[in-house]
């Protein structure tokens, strides 16, 4: 971005425009001043237009007076603008203390505009089936995204919307690895890193966050490498350049983004369907007032009853209905915060008996010696009680983690203890949680996890941290478990993932990204350097763009010449059978004393005779009348049942004349 404009310079530019408007013939100088400064105040423009219009009237003569001179016009317009001495002549925001005109918030870049390379992936038809199968096979655990409809996205890849882009940004780099060029793969990597930062709602360290926002430069650099023209046609690539200063002034970008409010346009339109369209704003306001009134009642709000002369509220049945009916609560915008307690475990489903159809009795709970924790951790003392093996547990971040999932745990069981990566091996739920059996002796639920170690370096191609399974296992309290992105595992039957001891952490995932970054050391969060010299990169991109424009210009000119020649040739040849042949033996023109000399041509008639006809300037001008059954020479006509035709310009070939 260029040097930020300060308020003082903006005010001075507006005052210069107002002063210029007091001169005669000031319309052009004012427009040039606005273009040069880049300042156009909508508040002052009305005053400027009035002054310019008054100046034009004063410079013209009328039946009652003469046209005024430029000096007199300047004096009168100056007196006119002095009338605004005690009135505002520019935007009042420019007088507000602490206001910065250029630091105003911009909406964060639109998803569909920043995505580079989506068309490039779609064009590689030979890799599209493999890309689709990989996208179908992505494990969506803890991504917190809608179901990835890979078949739909690949089939209608030209008509995706924001929710699709938000999803595929998080997994795209894994799906295209090895299928596209290195630059395109790194482009998606940079887009994913930038998306995580833009959608982050909680900034703990502003300095570190703003350093990470330099990923904006990576996205712009790859745009200049793959498609330089997009930097000129898409304003979003310029808008995101100001995102760092906006975040410093207003906070997280997603909180002051205005794009999400566009979705409410449909809601406003639906609020005026039963309306005569005479006052739509009033009808919409009344509809929202009625909805708010209903929402106030069902949420237990009170209103004054004039008959009873007291404040009343809805009955318990009404309030219980809105708590139990999710659909009505959603329509009224009532949030039902039914959060599960961290540590809540779900037991395996009991199968039904094939003969009776009734559920079978659950197996007896396990003793400590029968659990995996006892066999894997023999050093632990025996814990009295009985447990049921569970299949899932609710984490502290309100996620549901299953056996085999990768999670983050507090290594020291404290609220502020360091986070470590681990995988769930076994879930033990006390027996008291099953229909009143009380064999737990007050013991909490237990989670057996296997710790993972972080590699010292990032992945060579994906530029993401690597974790490896180690033999260190611990029993932890499920209330201190936060689920994290599972890097691999069996999902669909399209592609099966072989078990491995090493996994890649998807730092491009939006969900729980803040916890993931807290568990990573600073050395593994550094932004990878893709380009060494950005100046040379953009100079090369500009040269490439100029060359592309030149090639397109030459191609257009060549196409225009070809179309003109084809049209001229088609006009000369005609489109029917010919009984008379026009032969041009000499098509050259000479000038005598500056006057073009008429060239001679021969017309062969059916009886074998020939008739010489002159051809010159007037005949070519009358070419629009030829081809209509007559051959024109000046003002005379030859119409012996034969048709005339144009002779073309400087063609030395026989031209057939169509019979009328």
The two tokens of residue 108 are 């964060």
* pTM, full prediction: 0.65
Q: At what angle do helices 162-175 and 182-198 cross, to 10 degrees?
A: 130
**pLDDT digit string (tens) for 328-364?**
888 887 877 677 888 888 888 777 777 777 777 777 8
- pLDDT of residue 499 exceeding 90, the answer is no
Domain regions of the chain by residue span: 7-103, 111-257, 265-331, 345-350+363-510, 574-658
For 125-139, the pLDDT digits (tens) are 578 888 888 888 888
Q: Compute the distance between CA of residue 89 and CA of residue 34 in angstroms, rounded to an integer.
A: 16
Distance (Å, rounded) from C-alpha 517 to C-alpha 575?
76
Residue 577 has pLDDT above 90, yes or no: no
- Taking residues 413-429, what's their average pLDDT? 83
SS3 sequence of 204-251: CCHHHHHHHCCHHHHHHHHHHHHCCCHHHHCCHHHHHHHHHHHHHHHC
Higher pLDDT, 351 or 32: 32
Task: Categorize the per-residue pLDDT at 208 as very low, low, confident or very high, splitting at 50, 70 and 90.
Answer: confident
Please indicate whether residue 88 or residue 589 has the higher confidence score (pLDDT). 88
Give residue 398's Cα distance to chain centre.
29
Comparing 24-38, 155-169, 517-531, 595-609, which segment has the lowest mean pLDDT? 595-609
Q: How far is CA 601 from each of CA 317, 591, 598, rounded to the nearest angstrom?
A: 105, 18, 10
SS3 content of the chain, % helix, strand, coil (to 5): 40, 15, 40
Residue 649: its pLDDT value, please?
41
pLDDT at 584 over 70: no
The H-or-E segment that residue 410 falls in is strand 406-410
**3 state DSSP class of 179:** coil
Distances in whole angstroms, Cα of residue 256 to Cα of each of 5, 115, 253, 599: 22, 21, 6, 78
Mean pLDDT, residues 566-570: 88
Examine the pLDDT at 619 and tell me if it is beyond 70.
no
Segment 39-48, tens digit of pLDDT? 888 888 999 9
User: 467-492 pLDDT, tens per residue?
Assistant: 988 877 777 766 555 554 444 443 44
CB neighbours of 524 closer than 8 A, spacing ≥ 6?
454, 458, 465
What per-residue confidence (pLDDT) applies to 432?
Answer: 63
CA–CA gap between residue 446 and residue 444 (Å, rounded):
6
What CATH number should be reported for the domain whose range is 345-350+363-510?
2.30.30
Side-chain half-sphere exposure of 482, counting CA atoms within 13 A: 20
Phi, psi dihedral angles at 448 (to 5 degrees): -95, 120
pLDDT in tens, 379-390: 778 778 888 899
Cβ-contact 350, 396 below 8 angstroms: no
Residue with tokens 């009305």: 46
The whole-chain average pLDDT of the chain stands at: 76
User: In angstroms, rounded to a whole number, what is the distance separating the alpha carbons of residues 99 and 468?
Assistant: 52
Q: What is the CA radius of gyration of the chain?
A: 40
The answer to whether the CB of 180 falls within 8 A of the CB of 134 is: no
Q: Which of 123, 139, 135, 202 is nearest to 173 (CA)?
A: 135
User: Burial, 657: exposed, middle or buried (Cβ in 10 Å; 0-12, 13-18, 19+)?
Assistant: buried
* 152: Cα within 13 Å, side-chain hemisphere: 9
Predicted pLDDT of residue 435: 42
Residue 109 has pLDDT above 60, yes or no: no
Closest listed residue to residue 55, CA positions, set 37, 73, 40: 73
Structure confidence at residue 280 as a pLDDT band (50, 70, 90): confident
């Amino acid at each position: 971005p260029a040097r930020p404009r300060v308020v003082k310079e903006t005010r001075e530019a507006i005052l210069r425009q107002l002063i210029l408007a007091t001169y005669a013939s000031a319309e052009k100088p004012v427009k040039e001043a606005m273009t040069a400064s880049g300042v156009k105040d909508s508040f002052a423009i009305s005053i400027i237009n009035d002054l310019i219009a008054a100046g034009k009237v004063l410079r013209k003569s009328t039946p009652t007076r003469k046209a005024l001179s430029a000096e007199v016009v300047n004096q009168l317009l100056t007196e006119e603008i002095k009338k605004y001495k005690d009135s505002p002549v520019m935007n009042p925001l420019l007088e507000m203390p602490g206001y910065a005109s250029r630091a105003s918030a911009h909406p964060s870049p639109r998803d569909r505009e920043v995505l580079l390379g989506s068309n490039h992936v779609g064009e590689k038809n030979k890799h599209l089936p493999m890309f689709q199968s990989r996208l179908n096979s992505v494990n969506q655990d803890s991504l917190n995204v809608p179901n990835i409809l890979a078949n739909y996205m690949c089939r209608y890849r030209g008509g995706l919307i924001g929710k699709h882009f938000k999803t595929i940004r998080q997994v795209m780099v894994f799906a295209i690895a090895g299928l596209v060029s290195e630059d395109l793969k790194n482009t998606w990597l940079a887009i994913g890193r930038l998306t995580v930062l833009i959608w982050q709602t909680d900034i703990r360290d502003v300095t570190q966050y703003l350093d990470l926002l330099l990923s904006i430069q990576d996205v712009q650099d790859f745009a200049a490498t793959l498609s330089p023209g997009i930097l000129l046609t898409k304003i979003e690539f310029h808008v995101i350049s100001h995102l760092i200063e906006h975040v410093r002034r207003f906070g997280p970008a997603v909180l002051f983004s205005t794009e999400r409010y566009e979705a409410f346009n449909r809601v406003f339109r639906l609020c005026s369907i039963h309306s005569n369209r005479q006052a739509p704003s009033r009808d919409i306001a009344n509809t929202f007032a009625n909805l708010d009134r209903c929402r106030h009642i069902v949420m237990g709000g009170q209103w004054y009853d004039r008959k009873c002369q007291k404040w009343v509220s809805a009955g318990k049945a009404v309030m219980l209905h809105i708590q139990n009916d999710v659909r009505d609560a959603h329509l009224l915008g009532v949030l039902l915060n039914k959060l599960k307690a961290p540590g809540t475990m779900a037991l395996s489903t009991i199968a039904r008996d094939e003969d009776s159809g009734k559920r079978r009795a659950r197996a007896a709970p396990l003793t400590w010696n029968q659990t995996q924790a006892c066999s894997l951790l023999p050093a632990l003392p025996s814990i009295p009680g009985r447990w049921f093996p569970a299949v899932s547990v609710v984490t502290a971040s309100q996620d549901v983690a299953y056996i085999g999932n990768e999670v983050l745990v507090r290594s020291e069981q404290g609220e502020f203890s360091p986070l470590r990566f681990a995988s769930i091996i076994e879930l033990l739920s006390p027996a008291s949680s099953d229909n009143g059996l009380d064999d737990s002796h007050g013991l909490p639920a237990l989670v057996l996890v296997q710790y993972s170690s972080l590699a010292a370096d990032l992945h060579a191609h994906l530029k993401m941290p690597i974790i490896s399974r180690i033999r260190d296992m611990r029993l932890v309290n499920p209330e201190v478990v936060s689920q994290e992105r599972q890097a691999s595992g069996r999902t669909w039957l399209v592609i099966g993932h072989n078990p491995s001891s090493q996994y890649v952490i998807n730092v491009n995932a939006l969900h729980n990204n803040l916890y993931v970054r807290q568990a990573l050391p600073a050395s593994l969060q550094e932004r990878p350097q893709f380009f060494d010299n950005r100046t040379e990169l953009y100079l090369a991109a500009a040269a490439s763009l100029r060359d592309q424009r030149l090639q397109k210009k030459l191609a257009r000119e060549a196409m225009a010449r070809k179309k003109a020649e084809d049209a001229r040739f088609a006009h000369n040849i005609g489109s029917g059978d010919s009984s008379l042949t026009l032969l041009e033996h000499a098509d050259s023109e000479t000038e005598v004393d500056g006057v073009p000399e008429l060239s001679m041509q021969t017309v062969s008639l059916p009886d074998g005779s020939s008739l010489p006809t002159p051809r010159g300037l007037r005949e070519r001008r009358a070419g629009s009348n030829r081809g209509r059954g007559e051959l024109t020479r000046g003002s005379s006509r030859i119409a012996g049942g034969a048709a005339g035709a144009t002779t073309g310009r400087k063609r030395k070939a026989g031209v057939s004349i169509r019979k009328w």
